[in-house]
Amino acid sequence: MRNRPLHAMCASGLLLLVFHTAVPAVATCVDWTEETPVPPLVSWSGAPFHVTTGGQLESGYLGRSVIRWQGVMFDQDFWVWDVRDPAWPQEILHYAHQGAAGEEAYFGIDAARGDHLVVSIAGPLYVQRLVTALPDGAEDAPLPVVGPIALGEERAFHSDAEFAGNQLVYLDISVPGVVTTLAILPSDCAFTAPFALSDTIVLVGRDDGLLQVIDFTVPSAPVVHGSVPGTVRHWRLRDGDLVIGSTNSSLFAVDVSELEAPQIAWTIPLPGEAAVYHGDFAVFSFYQGPGSITRVYDVSQSVPVAISAPFGDYPVGALVWDGDVLYTGAGEAFDLQDPASPMLLGRAADVYGQVYVQSGELITSRGRYPLHCYDVTATDGLPPVQLALRANPNPFNPTTEVSFSVPHSGFVQLALYDVRGRTVRTLVAEALEGGRHSVRWDGRDERGRALPARVYLARLVSAGKARWCKLALVE
């Protein structure tokens, strides 16, 4: 159904308002250690769609519900904005509702991927609608059932255990404004939390304690490829052949490299809240009382190994690892130059919920924030150089390459210390050009004596600022 213009709005209607607001792009970064709380580059509270400030951000779409009371009656509005291009936000949905106390409706974005999103409206009736964002607006259509949904590129998997019985519904969503049921797979138990492995294959939970891989390549004859014991409440992300999920008591990974024999690859017995992968490392966050605990894990082997102490105090909601910095949905930024030693850099003002990095900015439900950088050297056409320090390999024996970068030319000192703070070796103490450098350390002190296997600290100092890195010399 094509969304109606403003004058056609009614209490049960969906409508479309489309216009572009020129918001100049700002490509910059700031040192979060020196500007806390970090203000937004562009606050969406001052934009034409200010009513969405602080709303729900979901994969490039921003939703917000507002209630205005008039005595015992109320007017309620729900907006959705397409902010995939954050410099050109576009309103694609507006739902209006009126009623008396106790008749308020719940509006939310249940899922989003690419041009598609699913919104739910829970009031006297509970319905879900599929919305397809288009260059000049949006099309929407009702979904045949209500429940958890997984979106593919042109297909969707919809589980329903409340209204129409225990069934998994396979949908064609390729035509904007049209939802076509391709197949219905009934079951003797409820399906929960589907995850689209492709447009034809889904990983889905069942409330009898099974996780199943189901193939809808032939919609009239879906095939259950394989099953593994397990339950799921939320799917968090996919990293290669691993799909990361969580329950109220654990974070776990399902290996789907063999569809006929999915396996639980590993389980961490803590209630998972958020996860992000970054090469051989990952950051997992877990619910803990009123807040969260977050740790860095080495995921280069078959089972994750915690390499950092718990850090962070707030429920994170979301995690994004960009370069050497981890940003959380609580508005915090942590330095992960040394993944084993996260360091809080600073906090952004009024941020909570999903966050992601796009076009050199941190995108949040509150607006667009600058990314973190320590000090910046602007070079024509080249990326900025930050003050940074790392070593590879680490742990090592007997030598490692210590790489560092300095944003400006000047005197640079790179020294090594033991855990008591005593200097054991000075690797650099001279004037250097701004840019990237490296030096090899052979595990020896100033006198050329081999040092014992233990942890040492490297400290880089330039222009009055310092960076630290742990070096693990092993036997």
Mean pLDDT by 10 residues, the chain (475 residues): 32 35 52 81 62 70 86 88 85 87 86 94 84 88 92 94 76 95 91 95 94 96 94 94 95 96 96 92 87 88 91 80 91 89 86 85 88 60 67 89 88 88 91 90 94 90 80 89
Q: Give the pLDDT of residue 231.
A: 95
Place of tokens 């809080």: 344
The two beta strands, 191-196 and 180-186, are: unpaired
CA distance 454 to 473: 5
CA distance 58 to 318: 11
Compute the chain's Rg from CA coordinates: 26
Class of 383-472 in CATH: mainly beta
Q: Give the pLDDT of residue 31.
A: 83
3-state secondary structure of 46: helix
Are 38 and 348 within 8 A, CB to CB?
yes
CA dihedral 123, 126, 130, 135 (to 10 degrees): 0
CA dist 114 to 81, 145, 151, Å?
14, 22, 9
Residue 158, classified by CB atoms within 10 Å of its CB into exposed (0-12), middle (13-18) or buried (19+), is: buried
Name residue 366's amino acid: R
Q: Give the pLDDT of residue 22.
A: 38
Q: Which of 193, 202, 200, 190 is nearest to 227 (CA)?
A: 202
Q: Which letter, b or e, does each residue of 17-28 get, where b requires 16 or more Cβ atoms within 10 Å of its Cβ?
A: beeeeebeeeee
Q: Which letter, b or e, does each residue of 241-267 get, where b requires 16 or more Cβ atoms within 10 Å of its Cβ?
A: ebbbbbbeebbbbbbbeeeeebeebbb
Q: Which of 88, 95, 97 is nearest to 140 (CA)?
A: 95
- Kindly report the pTM of this predicted structure: 0.74
CA distance 355 to 368: 10
Sequence spans of domains, the chain: 383-472
Residue 196, classified by CB atoms within 10 Å of its CB into exposed (0-12), middle (13-18) or buried (19+), is: buried
Instruction: Supply φ then ψ for residue 52, to 5 degrees.
Output: -90, 0
CA distance 457 to 455: 7
Are 120 and 126 within 8 A, CB to CB?
yes
The two beta strands, 367-372 and 42-43, are: antiparallel
Q: Give the pLDDT of residue 384.
A: 57
The two tokens of residue 221 are 């004859």
Q: Give the pLDDT of residue 264.
A: 97
CA dist 47 to 13, 90, 138, Å?
25, 12, 21
CA dist 116 to 25, 126, 129, 411, Å?
25, 20, 10, 54
Residue 448, classified by CB atoms within 10 Å of its CB into exposed (0-12), middle (13-18) or buried (19+), is: exposed
3-state secondary structure of 255: strand
Q: Give the pLDDT of residue 9.
A: 29
DSSP code at position 3: P
Show Cβ contacts of residue 358 under 8 Å, excluding neighbours closer than 6 positions. 86
Q: Which of 289, 193, 298, 297 is nearest to 236 (CA)?
A: 193
Are 166 and 186 within 8 A, CB to CB?
yes
Sign for the pseudo-dihedral over CA of 57, 60, 61, 62: positive
The two tokens of residue 173 are 């969503």
